[in-house]
Structure 1
Amino acid sequence: MGTTEPDTGGLAVVLPSPLVELRDLRLDEHEVRVYLKRDDLIHPEVSGNKWRKLKYNLAAAKEQGHSRLLTFGGAYSNHVRAMAAAGYYFGFETVGVIRGEEHLPLNESLVYAVDRGMTLTYLDRTTYRRKTEPDVLAALVDDFGPCCVVPEGGSNGPGVRGCAELPGEIEIDFDVVCCATGSGGTVAGIAAGLTGNQRALGFAVLKGGQFLDAEVRRLQGEGFGVETANWALVHDFHFGGYAKHKPELGSFIADFDTRHGITLDWVYEAKMMYGLFDRVASGAFARGSTVVAVLS
């Protein structure tokens, strides 16, 4: 795929995204400083790592003459939402291939995607697990016509190259960048963009997400031709699995909103921030550490 720097399709994109210190006594007790990288403020519809992952994919699709984008995701996928918005603003038709059976009425995420012009189709979970295989892709192209296929989560070579730009925007000295991990692309890109002894830490939001370790390595190879050793994934804070949660996560979200005036997304951000505070409390970060947490 090409690496043409894309235009913004008329989007008022805020880059670099704001970096703000999180003042919290629970952090002060352990002498750990945490900054929030507010990628969620890049754009209200194509925000965070979604813009970073999509921008080079959109440029490549345009360069190759495509008029239709096809992608994959769960029923609550932020990526599907962002792809629908990007198609709307950049003039692409969009198709969202959703994992599982159709459930009516549609949830808020899928209603939004349809409102932005996306055509939805569904694959049973067994077939969805084979979504990258040639026969499944060929059947989708037969149904919807020629298209540029963007993988689940926007995680491919162009996607991770976009995410690799994030560390270069951080103008403070830091030790660790934390992010939520669904498909592996964000942590793969961030790790590739780090320097010196800096490390990336991804908090998996999927139950049984150990396969993501191999996926991060694969994505780094696809995006950069090399793998780095400066990252790790944490698998202890999925709260039951993707788009699932438990009462303690809801309590954490409400408390965080009260303390800091930020409502965390419960599918991704809240799990990452819960895990970050848990690790700070357990002493996993050395005193004097500076951590950047990416909100997307």
Structure 2
Amino acid sequence: MPDQLLQLIPHPLAASYGVRLLLWRDDLLNPDLPGNKARKLKYNLLAARTQGHTHLLTFGGAYSNHLAAVATAGRLYGFDTIGLVRGEEHTPLNPTLARCVTDGMQLHYLDRTTYRRRTEPEFLADLQKTYGPAYLLPEGGTNALALRGVAELIGELRQQTDFDAVAVAAGTGGTLAGLALGLAEAHYPARVLGLVALKGAGFLRDEVDALTQAATGQPLTNYELHLNYHFGGYAKLPPELRAFIEHFEADFGVLLDPIYTGKLLSGVLDLISRRHFARGSTVVAVHTGGLQAWAGFGQ
């Protein structure tokens, strides 16, 4: 494990409210497969191997970090990969999809109506007939095995520091649910904050509750969902968010990604300014990687 995964962020705003702000650098954990995607894939890849699969099949949008991660995992661990992409094909490929192809992923495109069927058992069975036997990974990589991989982050973090809250950007809710599971199983009295990167994503509460109930037998109550830090919606990069990310890198030497972690740190600092955390609290924000997304924004 690399040194210095836990970094102090001496932001003047945090200091003025008496909050110790730390950044967990999951983006540095594995240079080839950085961030929370590696954690979500860990036990799924083991299950695929145990079940004798040689192919991985999954879903994602044209700029999906998950598609890129599955393609890289296939290259690293010897799986053939198939990515079903939402929407029509556009050429030349954007940098995310070009990277997927370079890593050996076969891309196929689904119109948006068909793509909405991606969780239907009958549709998934038809995919197995069309593309051959494959280990199915859901969009975003979120399932029960993914939660187990993410939950391990809590133990790693506790080896480094005590903390009162851990904050993460939320897309499908899997990383948030995994962290909540890790805290619950460790009986550690901190809370998880999920700052949602999507507009109108109140449905994620039901998703997280269903995930944690499946893992523990009951929904967990040790998490919060914050819906007001999406900056206009998924993959939106307004000037104020871009400026925040640029200033953060200049001040602290850390590049945040434009889809998730930029919104996360901006939101955490806003919550600090609103006295959401008691004076003397330690708050850990998790950098989940995703820096490949910058290629699509013309950094």
Q: What do residues 69-90 of structure 1 show as CA deviations (whole Å, max 9, x unaligned)?
A: 0111111111111100000011
Q: Does residue 1:190 correspond to 2:182, yes or no?
A: no
Which region of structure 1 is more displaced relative to structure 2, 61-70 or 27-36? 27-36
Q: Percent of aligned pairs with the same residue? A: 51
Residue 154 of structure 1 corresponds to 141
Which region of structure 1 is more displaced relative to structure 2, 238-247 or 160-169? 238-247
Residue 56 of structure 1 corresponds to 43
CA distance in 2, matches of 1:87, 1:159: 17
Q: Does residue 1:172 correspond to 2:161, yes or no?
A: yes
Q: Does residue 1:22 correspond to 2:14, yes or no?
A: no
CA distance in 2, matches of 1:78, 1:22: 25
Q: Does residue 1:139 correspond to 2:126, yes or no?
A: yes
CA distance in 1, matches of 2:278, 2:63: 36
Q: Does residue 1:243 correspond to 2:230, yes or no?
A: no
Moved over 4 A (4+): none
Q: What do residues 121-172 of structure 1 show as CA deviations (whole Å, max 9, x unaligned)?
A: 1222222222110232123222211000011111100000111111111231
Residue 33 of structure 1 corresponds to 20
8 Å CA contact retained: 2:6, 2:23: yes
Residue 102 of structure 2 corresponds to 115
Q: Does residue 1:270 correspond to 2:262, yes or no?
A: yes
Aligned counterpart in structure 1 of residue 273 of structure 2, from 262, 265, 281: 281
8 Å CA contact retained: 1:161, 1:189: yes
Give the unaligned 5+ runs of structure 2: 289-299
Higher relative contact order (CA 8 A, sep 6+): 2
Q: Does residue 1:128 correspond to 2:120, yes or no?
A: no
1:166 match: secondary structure: helix
| Count of residue pairs brought into register by the alignment | 283
Residue 248 of structure 2 corresponds to 256
Q: CA RMSD in A?
A: 1.4
Give the unaligned 5+ runs of structure 1: 1-13
Q: Does residue 1:217 correspond to 2:209, yes or no?
A: yes
8 Å CA contact retained: 2:213, 2:220: no
Q: Does residue 1:208 correspond to 2:200, yes or no?
A: yes
Q: What is the identity, as a one-letter code, of the residue corresponding to 1:235?
A: L
